[in-house]
Structure 1
Amino acid sequence: MIKYVDLFKYVSAMQAPLSDYAFSEGPNDEVLYHDGENSVNREEMKTLGTDEEVDNAVIDALAHILNTKGKKHSIYFSTMTYLIVCTDMGKSVNTTKEVRHEKFAERLNYEMTNSGITNIKKYREFFFPVPAFKHFYLLCINIYNGTIDLIDNRKLPMNVKESTKYEDNPQKMLEALAYFMRTKDYTGSDIARVLSFKTNLIKMKWRSNLDHKNCGVYVMKHMETYTTEPLVEWNCDLKANNVDQIRKLRVQYCSEIILSRTKKEGYRVKMAARRRMEEN
């Protein structure tokens, strides 16, 4: 069992054995989730079974699952989109902005196709999980309010400005999305409005600078719950520095990813987890 087995009593009868199986000492390369594009093997899934930061692959899987749930006005993309636009990972340092935008648009089209999404114009909240250096936060380009919402579980350090921490990366993501919108026949006025958006740092009561290991879990919870849709309240029950609450979410997200209706390996893993439970 994982080291916080006592928390299993707060989750369902199926969540506990599934998570126990995923976090066990089986082959690290065993695929526990695959949706046609994203995959999560045991080594990656086990990052949910520790008090360490989660792997990008886990967050990307949840983004796809949220898309398949069909939220009316929200669309979710992978961590790869930020890496394409704002980093030099896997590319030449001299890659131009134009090339980044083209690759960004290709990536969005690919992820939308994998999620069965054809009409981009109906969406009002575009979510991009950001894998910053030793940290994750969530960026939401918010058509409702005309803002780039920065949803970060950490507060700004004392005497550090917002522009210093986040640099010009929110603006880069905005410009990349505007480029993508041009390829989808948005009007010039729509694109001009999007390009006028300014950053908006969301100040949640559970923000804390004491937690340096669970940023990815916070991002997953924020992705799942955040909304500014008119007449809809953002319902998020997180509390600052509540270790048990975050560990419970780790177990829940593990089982949810495995059991998601897009999960081709779900039945096999479910049966393997049942056999492990019976043997123990």
Structure 2
Amino acid sequence: MLMQKHIYLIVINLKKPAFEVINNGADDVDFDDKYGPFFKPLYLKEINHVKANEMADKNLTPIRLIMPWRTVYNKKDCGVFAMRHMESYFGEKGSKWKCGLPKEGTSQEKILEKLRMKYTTTILTSEINTKR
């Protein structure tokens, strides 16, 4: 999801019905103010998914995961965070999830730089990249 030049993930868990928001930003704004207008169109009924009724019947409230590596000052690496989150998230609770990122600071910056290079290299050298 891209909102106001910020990328974050919305996870729809069909096995144990849940909606989760994974956002590296540490701001604690009202959920509906920040995500509500963008979250509602994602409901599965709109795409006629086979589990749409089951998910709707449970009247699920989206949960924003709280991870120790969320950032206050880093406003440029949300895409890198999103890619790392997609690589490493398998449904764990925020406190149990180990994505390999430390708390915000110099150590985190160094790891993000390596991840930025890894993802850039993968994209640029991919066989499906017709411009490589």
Equivalent position of 2:102 in the other structure: 239
1:146 matched to 2:33? The reply is no
> Comparing both structures, which one devotes a greater share of its residues to helix?
1
Shift of 1:149: 0.8
What is aligned with 1:170? 39
What is the TM-score normalised by the length of structure 1?
Answer: 0.40
- TM value normalised by structure 2: 0.80
Structure 2 Cα separation of the partners of residues 168 and 146 of structure 1: 21
Q: Write the letter of the residue equivalent to 1:245.
A: I
Equivalences, count: 124
Structure 1: state its 5+ residue gaps.
1-129, 270-280
1:191 aligns with 2:52: yes
Larger radius of gyration: 1
Aligned counterpart for 1:255 among listed residues 117, 121, 128: 121
Tell me the secondary structure at the aligned position of residue 155 of structure 1: coil
Q: CA deviation at 1:197?
A: 2.8
| SS of residue in 1 equivalent to 2:54 | helix
User: What is the SS of the residue equivalent to 1:163?
Assistant: helix
Partner Cα separation in structure 2 for residue 202 and residue 135 of structure 1: 17
Which residue is equivalent to 1:181?
48
Aligned-partner Cα distance in 1 for 2:128–2:5 = 30
Shift of 1:234: 4.6
* Residue in 2 that maps onto 1:200: 63
1:145 Cα deviation after fit: 2.5
Offset at 1:262?
3.1
Aligned counterparts, 1:27-46, within 5 A? none
Could you tell me how far apart the structure 1 residues matched to 2:98 and 2:127 are?
24
User: Which whole-Å CA distance do the structure 2 matches of 1:211 and 1:226 have between them?
Assistant: 21
2:91 counterpart residue number: 228
RMSD (Å), alpha carbons: 2.1
Cα deviation digits, residues 94-132 of structure 1 (max 9, x gap):
xxxxxxxxxxxxxxxxxxxxxxxxxxxxxxxxxxxx111
CA offsets 1:33-62 (integer angstroms, 9 cap, x no match): xxxxxxxxxxxxxxxxxxxxxxxxxxxxxx
Which of the numbers 137, 140, 165 marks the counterpart of 2:8? 137
- Asked whether the 8 Å contact 1:138–1:219 carries over to 2, the reply is yes
